Structure 1
Amino acid sequence: MTFPYVYHASYSELALPDNHRFPINKYRDLYELGLKRGILEQTRCVTPDAIDINELKQVHCPDYVDSFINGTLTQKAMRRIGFPWSEQLVRRSLHAVNGTKLCVELALEHNVAVNLTGGYHHAHYDFGSGFCIFNDLVIAAHHAIKHYQLDKVLIIDCDVHQGDGTATLCQSVPEIITCSIHCAKNFPARKQISDHDIELENGCNDSEYLAILSQSLPLLIAMHQPQLIIYDAGVDIHQDDDLGYAAISTQGLMQRDQLIMQLAQSQQIPVAAVIGGGYSRNRQQLAERHYQLLSAINTTCCE
């Protein structure tokens, strides 16, 4: 039996300049690779609608939300986000954020689910940053707490960059526990305070990285006893990533994802996973790195 996943064509429908560093095609590439290899089944695909604007305003500044939707953010604000404004950008943002919310619902029903985008952890209360406009992780966590009466949601963020927006949005929300495992010397330059920040040295390799995870994550789960894990499975820790300074192999990515899935399964904690960051001009190699998450879920949770 395969696992449910969330995907919308708009995830990769965004016209960007030829030299833009964001690999917008990777969502479609991963979707097609998963279907080709049979790890994704079309019948298990759930397509999100656009999220209700009022739900965004429960987490983000209403003026910021309206300004982005209406295209009236300043050029400086858009430069900080890293994308030129367009109606396409609005459309994909609204579907992507709702995708993670829907992913949480599916995970709570089926024990595991994946949104084939997501991980917009640099989005703060009243501004976007680093290709992130609205913080889907926090919005989805709030949704789970409110509609499923959960006491604790744990966000495990394994992107190479600190989840600074997630940290600031959750500092006064005791029901959401934030854990960011990231390179200390990487974007953002000014780090924020998560509930748990685990900083890696540049060049951190597979054995070092997996040892840190295997030592820290069981303690976190025992300490907080979450009823849901939202997992940002960024692959920009890969040794060949364009924006990462870690040295994790493709096999290391698989082992990381298996470790987290096995740990959650052993504790009977549902996992809603998003694919997070990953940057490469080579589309095939990048899709292969993100594919490790799908493969890990398939071997850990579906056999």
Structure 2
Amino acid sequence: MIHIAHSPLYSHPLPEGHRFPMLKYELIPEQLKHEGVITQKNIFTPAICPKETVLLTHTKEYYNKLIYQTLTASEQRKIGFPQSPLLTERELVIAQGTIDCCYHAMKDGVALNIAGGTHHAYADKGEGFCLLNDMAIAANYLLHKKNAEKIIIIDLDVHQGNGSARIFEHEPRVFTFSMHGAHNYPFHKEKSDLDVPLLDGTDTNTYLSVLQNTLPGLLEKEKPQFAFFLSGVDILDTDKFGKLKVTMEGCRQRDVFVFEELKKRNIPVAVAMGGGYSADVRKIVEAHCNTFKAAIDIFS
């Protein structure tokens, strides 16, 4: 059975003007259940990630700022959300959800977190709607527990995974691969182990060709024992901020390709949804649901 992490906290209410990004977290599981793709048995609710696990990745000073609500106004502006105890709790639950997905993936091949992919969070700061870096926390936890000796982060969100790149810049056991918009946020890029910047207007055929010419060789060379896949749908041509021209079908084909390449090499994968900012929330939900459908079709 494919396991899916979800919590009521994922759609934590925010002040007016911040609510739209959270809406999809309510709609995705309901749509999947409505279509009969999953049942409630597929869904599990993560607990709060323990402090000692978070501190394998984030600094104690930054962790305390989140817990005791002492972020400065400037730090909150960089994150994009006003601080609140519930928002911190939400991020801790998301991080634990990604860790739990790792263990389910080791058994079932794949597991998915309905939230997560908070790749803009650094060890000592948050930005870009990311407080804690869930995939970095999970990767460091797997290394700490000796569950894997080599890990790859496949980051296909339209925005570079700058926080992940910086966190792992001196960690050879974690390979960071980011394929993103060259002229999109963040405007100061960090150095991933492999960055593939795409020009504005990159279409479906070009996008898929670049991915198909990059990922298989990378997996063969690095031979990871575990993968994280950040499946952002802000690559869509309908996205307000993405600047790429990938169709809904192209986005689905991307997910299918990644899953097939990992499965044929017996590399378990934990998936997080990442970004998606199409004006019509139905487009966002459809694209994310396609990721779940592809994972279930290929790994079941």
AA in 2 matched with 1:243: F
- Specify the alignment match of 1:218 in structure 2: 216
Q: After superposition, give the CA deviation of every residue in 1:15-59 in whole Å (9 maximum; x if it has no partner).
A: 232x33751111111011111111122112121001112211221
Secondary structure of the residue aligned to 2:118 is coil
1:81 aligns with 2:79: yes
1:237-265 deviation line (CA, Å, top 9, x unaligned): 00011121111111011100000000011
Instruction: Report the CA distance between 1:97 and its aligned residue.
Output: 1.1
SS in 2 for 1:24: helix
1:13-162 equivalences in 2 (<5 Å): 13-17=12-16, 19-20=17-18, 23-162=21-160
**CA distance in 1 between partners of 2:96 and 2:207 (Å):** 31
> What's the counterpart of residue 166 of structure 1?
164
Provide TM-score, normalisation by structure 2: 0.97
More off after superposition, 169-178 vs 36-45:
36-45
Q: What secondary structure, in the 3-state scheme, does the structure 2 residue paired with 1:25 have?
A: helix
Please give the alpha-carbon distance, in whole angstroms, between the structure 1 residues aligned to 2:251 and 2:208. Answer: 10
Partner SS for 1:295: helix
Matches within 5 A, 1:1-12: 2-12=1-11
Identity %: 35
Stretches of structure 1 that go unaligned for 5 or more consecutive residues are none
* Contact 1:5 1:114 (8 Å CA) reproduced: yes
Measured in 1, the distance between the counterparts of 2:268 and 2:52 equals 27
After superposition, the CA RMSD in angstroms is: 1.2
SS at match of 1:23: helix
- Could you report, residue by residue, the CA deviation over 1:209-239 in whole angstroms, capped at 9, with x for unpaired residues? 1101111001110110001110000000000
Q: Which amino acid aligns with 1:8?
A: S
Superposition TM-score, scaled by structure 1 size: 0.96
Count residues in correspondence: 300
Distance, in Å, in 2 between the alignment partners of 1:254 and 1:9 is: 27
Tell whether the 8 Å contact from 2:108 to 2:299 is kept in structure 1 after alignment. no
Q: Is the 8 Å Cα contact of residues 158 and 182 (structure 1) preserved in structure 2?
A: yes
For residues 144-164 of structure 1, what are the alpha-carbon distances to aligned partners after superposition, in whole Å with 9 as ceiling and x for unaligned? 222243110000000000000
Query: Quick check: 2:234–2:277 contact (8 Å CA) kept in 1?
Result: yes
SS at match of 2:48: coil
Whether the 8 Å CA contact 1:29–1:283 is kept in 2: the answer is no
Residues 56 and 141 in structure 2, CA contact (< 8 A), matched pair in contact too: no
- List alignment gaps of at least 5 residues for structure 2: none
